[in-house]
Amino acid sequence: IYNDLATISMKIGEALSDRKQLEDALQYYEKGISIDKKYYGEIHPNIAAAYSHMSSVYSLMGRFEKAFDFIEKSLTLLQKIYRGKHPNIATVIYNKGELYSKQKNYKEAVRYKEEGLNMYKELVPATHPSIKVMEADLENNKKLLRGQTK
């Protein structure tokens, strides 16, 4: 329930540019993580997902250093859980690229988005709808990068 409350607070905070809602979201995610750790232990996909969502909240707040910290925590945890390639790992790698994109570091954005997308394509059917969305987003980042390097 705390994770659901966090997601709702994050969406409201994003829609209304309400920092208090974003701070509430972080607190809810932390409470959810605390409960998940109690019942599942330190290594569980729910915890990795919450870290990834916390990264998104920090990104919305413009606190990119914290956003990168939490995306790394999510990635590290997922790599321990799945011990190889997995769609969730690919998504988090891709999302790391999105953090770089939000900072207008398109070189790193393209690098991580390509890595995440390539892994994702290996693991899901070619008709998966996320592939088209990711490809279009990546192409946009490539165009932005070309604009920076002219």
Q: What is the pLDDT of residue 149?
A: 73
Q: What is the pLDDT of residue 148?
A: 83
- Residue 48: name the closest of 82, 12, 7 by CA: 82
- Residue 71: name the closest of 1, 79, 21, 7 by CA: 79
B/e letters for 30-49, b = 16+ CB within 10 Å, e = fewer, are ebbbeebeeeeeeebbebbb
Average pLDDT for runs of 10 along the chain of length 150: 95 96 98 97 96 98 98 98 96 98 97 98 96 97 88
Q: What is the pLDDT of residue 9?
A: 96
Read off the tokens for 92.
Answer: 């988090």
Q: What is the pLDDT of residue 150?
A: 61
pTM: 0.93
Q: What is the pLDDT of residue 60?
A: 97
